[in-house]
C-alpha cells in the first residue's frame, strides 16, 4: 500500500475502538504550526475545529497534512452534520470526524452512512489524499477508507437523551463525544456539575458502555478526567492550541514579574 495511505489514521481507530487512553486537543488557529508542535510533543490526536474556528477546506487540508507529518491523528469537528462536510474532510485524509448535534438515531444512521463505502453512501473518489492521489485501486481505497474512518457522534442536545440507546446501537457509529458545555446551556443548568447535567452524562456513558462503544470528553483538569474515566471515558480532549498558548504565556508573565517590576 502507498505511504500516502496514512497508517496512523487506521491505528487511531483501532486504539479508539479498543478504548485505549488517548489524549488530544482542539486546533482553533488556521495554521499548520500548532499541529506540528503538538504532534511532535506526543499528542495522540488533534481536533481541527471547523465548527467554532475560522477553517475552510483548503486550510483543513493543510493542517491534516501537518498532522501526518507530525505523526498524530487528524480529526475534524465538522461544521455541520451533513454528508458533504464529512466527505470533504475524509477525502482530505482525516483520521475521523467529530460530528455535532447527533440528536436522533436517524441522524446517527445518516452520518455513519456518509462515512462508509460498504453498507454506506460515501461518495467515491480515489484521487484525493485519502486515495493516495490515485495510487490505490478502487477496492483498496474502499477497504482502507472504511477501516480508517473514525465516526464520533457529539451528544449535546437534550432530545438525544430520549433516543440515546437507539443512537448507541447504530452500526458504523464508532463512539460518542459527550458535549457537557452544550448540555449545560441547553438544560439551563448553572454549571457542568449540576445534577441535571450529571444525570445526562451518566445516561450517555451508560448507553455507550452497554453498546461497547468508547466515550470522548473535554477534560478541564486531571481530577475531571479521572472522574470521567470512572464513567467509562477513554479519550480526552484537553484545552486547545490557543488555550495552551494562553496558559503558557500567563506563566511566563508571572515568572518574569520581578523583571517587569523594574520596567
Query: Active-site residue numbers?
Result: 52
8 Å CB contact between 97 and 150: yes
Phi, psi of 33 (to 5 degrees): -70, -45
Q: Which residue has the cell 464520533?
A: 152
3-state secondary structure string across 169-210: CCCCCCEEEECHHHHHHHCCCCCCCCHHHHHHHHHHHHHHHH
CA 181 to chain centre: 16
In this structure, how many other beta carbons lie within 10 angstroms of the beta carbon of residue 162?
A: 12
Q: Specify the DSSP element, H or E, that contains 146.
A: helix 138-148
Q: Which residue has the cell 452534520?
A: 81
Amino acid at each position: 500500500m502507498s505511504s500516502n495511505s496514512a497508517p496512523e489514521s487506521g491505528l487511531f481507530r483501532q486504539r479508539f475502538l479498543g478504548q485505549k487512553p488517548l489524549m488530544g486537543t482542539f486546533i482553533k488557529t488556521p495554521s499548520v504550526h500548532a499541529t506540528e508542535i503538538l504532534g511532535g510533543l506526543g499528542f495522540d490526536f488533534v481536533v481541527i475545529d471547523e465548527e467554532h474556528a475560522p477553517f475552510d477546506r483548503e486550510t483543513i487540508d493543510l493542517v491534516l497534512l501537518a498532522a501526518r507529518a507530525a505523526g498524530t491523528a487528524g480529526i475534524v469537528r465538522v461544521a455541520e452534520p451533513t454528508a458533504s462536510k464529512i466527505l470533504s474532510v475524509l477525502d482530505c485524509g482525516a483520521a475521523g470526524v467529530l460530528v455535532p448535534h447527533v440528536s436522533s438515531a436517524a441522524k446517527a444512521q445518516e452520518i455513519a452512512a456518509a462515512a462508509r463505502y460498504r453498507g454506506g453512501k460515501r461518495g467515491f473518489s480515489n484521487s484525493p489524499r485519502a486515495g493516495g492521489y490515485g495510487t490505490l485501486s478502487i477496492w483498496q481505497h474502499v477497504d482502507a477508507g472504511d477501516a480508517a474512518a473514525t465516526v464520533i457522534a457529539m451528544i449535546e442536545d437534550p432530545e438525544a437523551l430520549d433516543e440515546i440507546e437507539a443512537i448507541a446501537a447504530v452500526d458504523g457509529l464508532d463512539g460518542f463525544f459527550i458535549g457537557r458545555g452544550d448540555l449545560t446551556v441547553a438544560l439551563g443548568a448553572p454549571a457542568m456539575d449540576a445534577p441535571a447535567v450529571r444525570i445526562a452524562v451518566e445516561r450517555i456513558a451508560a448507553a455507550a458502555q452497554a453498546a461497547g462503544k468508547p466515550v470522548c470528553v473535554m477534560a478541564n483538569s486531571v481530577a475531571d478526567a479521572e472522574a470521567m474515566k470512572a464513567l467509562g471515558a477513554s479519550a480526552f480532549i484537553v484545552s486547545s492550541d490557543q488555550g495552551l498558548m494562553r496558559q503558557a504565556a500567563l506563566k511566563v508573565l508571572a515568572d518574569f514579574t520581578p523583571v517587569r517590576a523594574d520596567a
